Structure 1
Amino acid sequence: MTFHERPEPGPATPWAFPTPARGALPNGLTVLRCHRPGQQLVAVELVLDAPLTAEPREQEGVATIMARSFSEGTDTLDAEAFAAELERAGATLDAHADHTVVSLSLEVPNSRLERGLSLLADAVRAPAFPDAEVERVVANRLDEIQHERANPARRAAIALYAELFPADDRISRPRAGAAETVERIDAEAVRAFYRAHVRPATATAVIVGDLTAAGDVDGILERTLGAWQGDSAEPGVPAPVRAADPGERGRVVIVDRPGAVQTQLLIGRLGPDRHAPEWPAQVLGTYALGGTLTSRLDRVLREEKGYTYGVRAFAQPLRSGAEGQGRALLGISGSVDTPSTAPALADAWQVLRTLAAEGLTGEERDIAVQNLVGIAPLRYETAVAVCGTLADQVAQQLPDDYQAGLYQRMNDTTTEAATAAVVAGFQPDRLLTVLVGDASAIEEEVRALGIGEVTVVPA
């Protein structure tokens, strides 16, 4: 029997995260373009300089209501007609408000790019914000708040942010607003926020896809987003992120949920963000600590002890400033059955102390690099993924070539540097721990651990 020769892999194809071409339209709108041959679905993200810190205190959540109302009609189309036109173009349009910006995301086939961009342009150029539609969006948000408070993971996040940041900082309160502020929002409040903060001069459009197949992109942009007019203005400067006084040791907050059979864990503190030189090492170290099923936390809490289906460590950038005044939330999250709450915390603290004493291994560092850097070409196969990362760079005031440089810096990071970063970020005696669970069943054992002053609050 004759067998064909087994094929051998060819040489690896060089890859780097794409750097966009930067330009501007006559109306002041900044445009970042990234040509991705063969990508028939074009991704567009419009980044608006409308931070949450600009919301009136008594109407927090208005940025989110505005974002969700952009697709509820324009000066020429009502909400139903606008949705029908999106469907005819084969397009989708979403919007959300984050700490630093409001973003609108469009996906459309490149053969219908002009129609998709026309609808996006109309949504920001002349939104109708009809009274009835805004009232419906507000009502939906108020219903959503009830679900958030009933969700253990979301309730833990609300408690963590309230404890971690000063009460006078917008970031300490729910991103999409609380019930007492959202219920004060009406269509006029949305229109006022729009007039004050939405203009092309401070906005950036990111467009990614096969732009050659899309046709005359310059002309399309001029006829669509270029028709959007507004006052000139300078971009805002994000306020520095401050932590509340952590005291001399860690803290524990138990959000009491009587009868709960599980405890939701959320452990965190503030650390460096992407502007800091140690960020690549922080990313690698955090991944080795709790980024995958083979990480240290999962090996102990899931594989050895069976406390949980999974626990993760993460580093989440928050409100960043160009001068490095932004911070990131360094956290550990997961859930365990109620009787395992204190044992799981004790073992998690032991993992952190062992990490500080022994450091990461070279194998752990290599696995982190392989899983974060090695799979990047797969992660960014789609135009949507590339567009989202470029838009995130805009929101975080990072240079256009940041992501490409990040992968190189992670690849060059030593085991010692990754160890130093994760040990500095996750200091066991400086962590804030939020537990959402049955206080009567877990409080006494948690106090006995000595990991911080314990406070019990109602759910």
Structure 2
Amino acid sequence: MTTIARPEVAAPEPWVFPEATATALPNGATLLTYDVPGQYVLSIRVGLPISLADEPRDLEGIATVMARTLDEGTEHHSAEEFARLLERKGVSFGAGIGDAGLTMDLDVVKGNLEPALDLLRQILTEPVFPEQEVARQVRTRLAEIEQERAVAAHRAVIEFVRTFYAEDERSARPIGGTRETVSAITREAVVAFHAEHVVASGATVVIAGDLSDLDVPDLVGRALAGWDAGAVERPSAIERAATLAQDRCRIVVVDRPGAVQTEFVIGAPGPDRSVAGGWAPYPVIGFVVGGSPNARIDAVLREDKGYTYGIRSSFRPRRSGGLFLTAGSVRADATVESLRLLVELLTSGREGFSQKEVRSGVDFIAKTAPGRYATADQVADEAVIMALDGRTTQFTTDNLHDLVTVDAARVDAAFARFADGAGIDPERPGSGWTIVLVGDAAEHMAGIQGLGFGSVTVVHDR
């Protein structure tokens, strides 16, 4: 019998993010193109560094309403006509606002790139924001606000940002505004906000996909030639870290009498991608602590105790500063014990990470990268995220190459830097964390106070 030797499996070559070609457009925007052969549905992304702090205080949520009505009619087409044009040309469109800025997403088959760019031009330069469409989006947003207050996970986030950030910070209030501010939004205000902020200066346009036989810079240059540079100076508030509340290190319970589950949001200030020692160790920490079903949190609260279906942790960088956030729900009868275990597990990084844990995180993040960025839409999404963070996708490549060198010592040092900055002291359980629970306050209050994690405040919804 002949025995065939098993082939040797070589380690994969270092992966490189697709290379971008950058073109400076005359109106102050930057065009980034990524040729991804075989991807015949092209992904177009537009990123504008509009800060939520640019919204008038009494009209917060106006950027959300504006984003949702950009394609609801232009100077030459009604909302219905424009919707049919998008459908006829096979163009999907979406827009939204977040902490990083305003983004617009278009996907279109390669053969229809030119008409898709013309539709984008109309969205950018000719939206008319019909009165009835603005009013409809205002009503929709008001209904969402009520739903967000009813859903425990959303309610926990609302209370978390209100507790975590200083009262006068825009970040302390919902991205989509409140009932009072959204109710005050008018068509005239949306038109004025668009005219001031949706301008070409500082914007990034990304096109990814199979670009063979296409002169993309010429097509984009001609299509967007009429998009005005604008006079707004930006970014502003995006560049600085948000001010935290002086009393952020405390526990807040949003009372839900009779709740059969308790929702947790636990957070502390984290780094941005410019952190000393490199960004690469931080996604590994998030993965090991609570980034997968095999992470420390789920190993105890889900697999061992059966308290939860799953709780997740991750670092969430902003352009300046960031967060380390843990969120999920547990059985109501396990609330106090779950809180004790969560704080213990989140603080356990002070005791170090094993090389096995670190290797599992490094391997997962690094070896899945080629799959994560295999399609044009993912390439374009990453490019616009990096652009709004003041970077290029060279950072993505460099960070992945750095990631494979990460060992337990670097991860331990990174966690220590994070914990020191957040004021997490293992000798003082609960220190450094902002903890929000949505659940039955009367049922759990005594037990929570007995943990000795700090002051406890109860919030009763109207």
Q: State the TM-score bracket (shorter-chain normalisation).
A: over 0.9
- State the partner residue of 1:415: 408
- State the partner residue of 1:292: 292
Q: Which amino acid aligns with 2:389?
A: Q
Task: List per-residue Cα deviations over 1:392-422 (Å, max 9, x = no partner).
Answer: 1111112441111111122222212212323
Counting only pairs closer than 5 Å after superposition, residues 3-18 of structure 1 correspond to structure 2 as 12=12, 14-18=14-18
Counting only pairs closer than 5 Å after superposition, residues 279-358 of structure 1 correspond to structure 2 as 279-318=279-318, 320=319, 326-357=320-351
- State the partner residue of 1:156: 156
Contact 2:270–2:316 (CA<8 Å) still a contact in 1? no
- State the partner residue of 1:132: 132
Query: How far does residue 423 in structure 1 lie from its aligned partner after superposition?
Result: 4.5
2:15 aligns to what SS in structure 1? coil
- State the partner residue of 2:262: 263
Q: Hey, what's the Cα distance between the residues in 1 that align with 2:152 and 2:13? A: 45
Q: Hey, what's the Cα distance between the residues in 1 that align with 2:93 and 2:7? A: 44
Q: Which amino acid aligns with 1:37?
A: P
Q: Hey, what's the Cα distance between the residues in 2 that align with 1:63 and 1:50? A: 9
- State the partner residue of 1:100: 100
- State the partner residue of 1:361: 354
Evaluate the alpha carbon distance shift between residue 4 and residue 143 of structure 1 in structure 2; reply closer, same or farther with a 3 A threshold. farther
Q: Which amino acid aligns with 2:78?
A: D
1:308 aligns to what SS in structure 2? coil
- State the partner residue of 1:436: 438
Query: How far does residue 98 in structure 1 lie from its aligned partner after superposition?
Result: 1.1
Q: Hey, what's the Cα distance between the residues in 1 that align with 2:343 and 2:54? A: 39
Over aligned residues, Cα RMSD in angstroms? 2.1
Contact 1:53–1:99 (CA<8 Å) still a contact in 2? no
Task: List per-residue Cα deviations over 1:63-82 (Å, max 9, x = no partner).
Answer: 11111110101111111111
Give the TM-score normalised by the residue count of structure 1.
0.93
Task: List per-residue Cα deviations over 1:116-174 (Å, max 9, x = no partner).
Answer: 11111110111111111111111111111111111111111110100111111111100
Evaluate the alpha carbon distance shift between residue 14 and residue 417 of structure 1 in structure 2; reply closer, same or farther with a 3 A threshold. closer
Structure 1: tracts of 5 or more residues without a match = 321-325
Contact 2:284–2:361 (CA<8 Å) still a contact in 1? yes
- Choose the corresponding residue for 2:386, options 393, 398, 403: 393
Task: List per-residue Cα deviations over 1:308-359 (Å, max 9, x = no partner).
Answer: 01111111123x2xxxxx11110111100111011111112222444322x1
Contact 2:14–2:401 (CA<8 Å) still a contact in 1? no
Is 2:448 the counterpart of 1:446?
yes
Q: Hey, what's the Cα distance between the residues in 2 that align with 1:138 and 1:408? A: 46
Contact 1:243–1:270 (CA<8 Å) still a contact in 2? no
- State the partner residue of 1:198: 198
Q: Which amino acid aligns with 1:327?
A: G
Q: Hey, what's the Cα distance between the residues in 2 that align with 1:236 and 1:355? A: 35
Is 2:377 the counterpart of 1:375?
no
Q: Which moved more, 1:269-278 or 1:254-263?
A: 269-278
Q: Which moved more, 1:255-264 or 1:234-243?
A: 234-243
Q: Which amino acid aligns with 1:74?
A: T
Is 2:84 the counterpart of 1:84?
yes
Task: List per-residue Cα deviations over 1:181-212 (Å, max 9, x = no partner).
Answer: 00000110001101111111221101111111
Contact 1:246–1:430 (CA<8 Å) still a contact in 2? no
Q: Hey, what's the Cα distance between the residues in 2 that align with 1:40 and 1:33? A: 14
1:201 aligns to what SS in structure 2? coil
Evaluate the alpha carbon distance shift between residue 8 and residue 82 of structure 1 in structure 2; reply closer, same or farther with a 3 A threshold. farther
Q: Hey, what's the Cα distance between the residues in 2 that align with 1:6 and 1:70? A: 59
Q: Hey, what's the Cα distance between the residues in 1 that align with 2:344 and 2:6? A: 48
Q: Hey, what's the Cα distance between the residues in 1 that align with 2:446 and 2:192? A: 51
1:42 aligns to what SS in structure 2? strand
Q: Which moved more, 1:412-421 or 1:74-83?
A: 412-421
1:199 aligns to what SS in structure 2? coil
Evaluate the alpha carbon distance shift between residue 270 and residue 189 of structure 1 in structure 2; reply closer, same or farther with a 3 A threshold. same
Q: Which moved more, 1:80-89 or 1:345-354?
A: 345-354
Contact 1:275–1:398 (CA<8 Å) still a contact in 2? no
2:23 aligns to what SS in structure 1? strand
- State the partner residue of 1:273: 272
Query: How far does residue 4 in structure 1 lie from its aligned partner after superposition?
Result: 10
Q: Percent identity?
A: 36
Q: Which moved more, 1:234-243 or 1:151-160?
A: 234-243
Contact 2:383–2:392 (CA<8 Å) still a contact in 1? no
1:254 aligns to what SS in structure 2? strand
Evaluate the alpha carbon distance shift between residue 239 and residue 13 of structure 1 in structure 2; reply closer, same or farther with a 3 A threshold. closer
Structure 2: tracts of 5 or more residues without a match = 425-429
Q: Which amino acid aligns with 1:259?
A: G
Evaluate the alpha carbon distance shift between residue 457 and residue 409 of structure 1 in structure 2; reply closer, same or farther with a 3 A threshold. same
- State the partner residue of 2:143: 143
Q: Hey, what's the Cα distance between the residues in 1 that align with 2:112 and 2:92? A: 12
- State the partner residue of 1:64: 64
Q: How many equivalent pairs are there?
A: 450
Contact 1:66–1:190 (CA<8 Å) still a contact in 2? yes
Query: How far does residue 244 in structure 1 lie from its aligned partner after superposition?
Result: 2.8
Q: Hey, what's the Cα distance between the residues in 2 that align with 1:332 and 1:353? A: 12
Q: Hey, what's the Cα distance between the residues in 2 that align with 1:345 and 1:156? A: 15
Give the TM-score normalised by the residue count of structure 2.
0.93
Query: How far does residue 361 in structure 1 lie from its aligned partner after superposition?
Result: 0.4
- State the partner residue of 2:427: none
- State the partner residue of 2:51: 51
Evaluate the alpha carbon distance shift between residue 179 and residue 353 of structure 1 in structure 2; reply closer, same or farther with a 3 A threshold. closer
Query: How far does residue 50 in structure 1 lie from its aligned partner after superposition?
Result: 2.1
- State the partner residue of 1:323: none
Evaluate the alpha carbon distance shift between residue 231 and residue 266 of structure 1 in structure 2; reply closer, same or farther with a 3 A threshold. closer
Query: How far does residue 6 in structure 1 lie from its aligned partner after superposition?
Result: 8.5
Query: How far does residue 2 in structure 1 lie from its aligned partner after superposition?
Result: 11
Q: Which amino acid aligns with 2:452?
A: G
Evaluate the alpha carbon distance shift between residue 87 and residue 240 of structure 1 in structure 2; reply closer, same or farther with a 3 A threshold. same
Q: Hey, what's the Cα distance between the residues in 2 that align with 1:5 and 1:11? A: 19
Q: Hey, what's the Cα distance between the residues in 2 that align with 1:239 and 1:402? A: 18
Query: How far does residue 242 in structure 1 lie from its aligned partner after superposition?
Result: 3.4
Query: How far does residue 225 in structure 1 lie from its aligned partner after superposition?
Result: 2.0
